[in-house]
Amino acid sequence: MAVKYKRVLLKLSGESLMGEKQFGIDPGMLINYANQIKDLIGLGVEVSIVIGGGNIFRGLQASDSGIERVQGDYMGMLATVINGMALQSALEEAGVFTRLISAIEMKQVAESYIRRRAIRHLEKGRVVIFSGGTGSPYFTTDSAAALRASEINANIILKGTRVDGIYTADPEKDPTATKYDRLSFAKVISQGLGVMDMTAFTICKENNIPIIVFNINNSKNLLRIVQGETIGTLVEG
């Protein structure tokens, strides 16, 4: 079956792994995502993933507990490695070959990031999970997703969220909010529409990588998007 996007980067938030829990990892969510990703691999799509760590630790929370910002950001990066290991385990349980890659060296659990090697893994049909953010403080995992997508020449970033696109306001708080089907990077940046941070949007704009924001909790959305259906909100140049 023909696919519209051959190489994708899927951005998942750490919170998306919580399911109905208040923190941590819901095994049911891991299985759900693993099965969705397996469907893409079955179509011959090359899949890379960047996952957040907010279900375990968020760097910006650190100041509330007296932890210095840089130290807190590194703690958040380590949380993304934990989530990456969990997702890797679920994918391999589903029969999908994976590589966990970390921007922070920890050779006992993950490969260090080398661009050419990561691309080679994708070409061989392995799911590449990028963890550890960018390896530097002050950057979010959204920025890491934009950076890695640019480096591996991804066709698109698929940002999985709890809502089905970008709205004029937060639809969970404002019932009058209306959804955009398509937006330009310029409009997103000028209006400060905060689904990803501005650094991430700017990297994508400069490297001409479109973004689709969609509801990941509908288990068929990911498959439908790569097959070319119009789902969620498309942000492009």
Beta strands at 179-180 and 166-167: parallel, antiparallel or unpaired: antiparallel
* pLDDT at 156 (0 to 100): 97
Residue 60's pLDDT band (boundaries 50, 70, 90)? low
Q: Which region, left, alpha or beta, applies to residue 132 given φ > 0 means left and ψ of -120 to 50 means alpha?
A: left
State the Cα angle at 99 between 38 and 207, rounded to 5°: 85
pTM of the entire predicted model: 0.94
Q: What is the mean pLDDT of residues 181-198?
A: 85
Q: Which of 157, 209, 203 is nearest to 49 (CA)?
A: 157
**How far apart are the C-alpha atoms of 150 and 114, rounded to whole Å?**
14
Beta bridge partners of 46: 7
Residue 61's pLDDT band (boundaries 50, 70, 90)? low
Instruction: Walk me through the domains of the chain, giving residue ranges and CATH numbers.
Output: 7-236 (3.40.1160.10)
Share of the chain above pLDDT 90, in %: 73
**pLDDT tens for each residue of 135-181:** 999 999 999 999 999 999 999 999 998 888 998 888 878 888 899 99
* pLDDT at 162 (0 to 100): 84
Residue 10: pLDDT above 70?
yes
**How far apart are the C-alpha atoms of 37 and 56, rounded to whole Å?**
23
Q: What is the signed CA dihedral for 194, 198, 199, 201, rounded to 10 degrees?
A: 80
**How far apart are the C-alpha atoms of 67 and 60, rounded to whole Å?**
10
Q: Roughly how many angstroms between the first and final C-alpha of the chain, as a whole number?
A: 28
